[in-house]
Amino acid sequence: MGSGANHRHKPSLAVIGTGIAGLSAAYLLKDDYQVTVFESQARAGMGAHRVDYTSHGITRRIDIPLRIFCRGYYENLFALYKHIGVEIVTSDHSGIFSDETGRVILHYGNARWGGARLSYLKGHSWLSRAAWTIALQSRQFFARARRDIGRTDLADLSFGDYLQQSGAGHDFVETVLLPMMSVTCTCDYQAVRDYPAEIMLEYLTCGIHELGVMSAAKGVDDIVPRMLVDVKLRTNSPIAMIEPAGQQLRVVTKAGADQCFDQVVVAAQAQQAASMIFGFDERRALLNRIPFERSSMSVHTDQEILPAPVKRLSPVSYHVPRGSSRAEVSVDLTKAIARLSGQQTVFQTWNPMRRIAPNRELARVDFTRPTVTRDSREAVRALRANQNQPGNRLWLCGSYMAEKIPLLEAAVDSSVAVAEHLGAAIPWKASAPAAA
């Protein structure tokens, strides 16, 4: 618990939102400020959506969504989890792609080879000309992307332009790349194409295929309490307004309670932040340039939506109907999450397009999520410049505030940047203490 600094007077600071951005900001700032954390939902946000699943007489908690990450892209997240003692395990995310008729187009598995993971064609895909074509186009795409990642003109290109210019294979792009990135970014294929090429290529060349993906061994319940130490937590406290009040900022809840703070960190999504800040017109206009998309996630046990008997399948199933704007993607949690192995099969399906039997659905949750365009990237740069002015008291962090895909890493990256501006030492960046 806490540092010896508790005895001196510390300035007050409010954090609005308890996604990973708000949690990590609160954790990093708690030694230097008296931190009060406000969350609109009944539980800390990162763990707000979850369901208990009982099978074989055992109850296990399922996070919604399941969150995965990989070495190579998640530098701050790994450092944070290591620092707070979160155990991390590998997760198999090999996949099967099928069309609107349920016909399997490509099925691949992952094998470990030394420290690396290799993908190989599985089942009938081994004999399928279409699958081999996609595999070849995939190799060509990644080889070219690794060569192109340093190109200075990528900043001016959308990912769609890049795919066209680089001659990426049509079948690979339509069947595999766009569906994979639409679930990674939880958005339409068009929004994937609109991402800046540089941001997409940075993610795609980070080594995710060779290093594999990981998840927190014990889920969100193990993560949230590790970050909410030495802070006051106010759940069920949606914030309606933040406005200047002399040398402080007034934070007003929707129920009308108000309190003034020396500093305020808004760690809600951009459109949510825009709706609560008053007297910051330029920032509000910039926040409104950050696009976002809606989607939903279902946790269920309905095996009917899978293309083949579940035992033979890789954990991730992509349903890719021609002409649709997104894929539907199901993860067999008993194969992907070690703590659920041995349970009866249960799935998480992003963007359910087909009917899931109501008596087999455990939960359905709607989400919004930012996307990145060349315009939003400029807006984020302007927001950062704006808040880094001397005397600023209102800080924005969240996955939209870093120049990355809005994943967990971007959210932590953004709270590290704010904490550094507010004078906090970042434990995993700390230099050795000066000799006395």
Binding site for ligand FAD (CB under 6 A): 16-22, 38-41, 45, 48, 65, 67-69, 186, 238-239, 267-269, 272, 276, 297, 350, 367, 369, 398-399, 406-408, 411
In the block, residue with structure tokens 């294979």: 169
Q: How far is the CB of 34 from ligand FAD (least distance, A)?
A: 19
Q: How far is the CB of 410 from ligand FAD (least distance, A)?
A: 6
Q: How far is the CB of 322 from ligand FAD (least distance, A)?
A: 24
Q: How far is the CB of 167 from ligand FAD (least distance, A)?
A: 30
Q: How far is the CB of 376 from ligand FAD (least distance, A)?
A: 14
How do beta strands 12-16 and 263-266 pair?
Answer: parallel
3-state secondary structure (DSSP) of residue 240: strand
Shorter beta-carbon distance to ligand FAD: residue 14 or 135: 14
Shorter beta-carbon distance to ligand FAD: residue 45 or 307: 45
In the block, residue with structure tokens 């155990």: 87
| CB proximity list for 220: less than 8 A, separation 6 or greater | 46, 47, 50, 63, 67
Residue nearest ligand FAD by beta-carbon distance: 45
| Helix-helix angle 408-421:374-387, to 10 degrees | 20
- Picking from 8, 180, 200, 218, the residue whose alpha carbon sits closest to that of residue 93 is 180
Whole-angstrom CA distances from 67 to 39, 208, 214, 248, 422 are 20, 15, 9, 37, 29
Q: Which amino acid is at 277?
A: I
Q: Taking the mean position of all CA atoms in its chain, how far away is CA 159?
A: 19
What whole-number distance in Å separates Cα of residue 356 and Cα of residue 229?
40
3-state secondary structure (DSSP) of residue 34: strand
What whole-number distance in Å separates Cα of residue 422 and Cα of residue 414?
13
DSSP state of 114: T
Shorter beta-carbon distance to ligand FAD: residue 109 or 370: 370
What whole-number distance in Å separates Cα of residue 368 and Cα of residue 353?
17
DSSP state of 249: E
| CB proximity list for 211: less than 8 A, separation 6 or greater | 70, 71, 72, 116, 117
- Picking from 202, 264, 355, 251, the residue whose alpha carbon sits closest to that of residue 35 is 264
Shorter beta-carbon distance to ligand FAD: residue 18 or 98: 18
Shorter beta-carbon distance to ligand FAD: residue 252 or 426: 252
Q: How far is the CB of 426 from ligand FAD (least distance, A)?
A: 17
Q: How far is the CB of 407 from ligand FAD (least distance, A)?
A: 3
**Residue 311 half-sphere exposure, CB side, CA atoms within 13 Å?**
1
How do beta strands 248-253 and 258-261 pair?
Answer: antiparallel
Shorter beta-carbon distance to ligand FAD: residue 53 or 69: 69
Q: How far is the CB of 343 from ligand FAD (least distance, A)?
A: 20
Q: How far is the CB of 140 from ligand FAD (least distance, A)?
A: 27
Shorter beta-carbon distance to ligand FAD: residue 99 or 293: 293
Q: How far is the CB of 8 from ligand FAD (least distance, A)?
A: 29
Shorter beta-carbon distance to ligand FAD: residue 157 or 183: 183
Shorter beta-carbon distance to ligand FAD: residue 176 or 397: 397
Length of the chain: 436
Q: How far is the CB of 103 from ligand FAD (least distance, A)?
A: 27
Which two structure tokens, joined as six digits, stand for 214?
Answer: 């990981």
Shorter beta-carbon distance to ligand FAD: residue 128 or 324: 324
Shorter beta-carbon distance to ligand FAD: residue 238 or 244: 238
What whole-number distance in Å separates Cα of residue 52 and Cα of residue 339?
13
| CB proximity list for 230: less than 8 A, separation 6 or greater | 1, 2, 6, 30, 31, 35
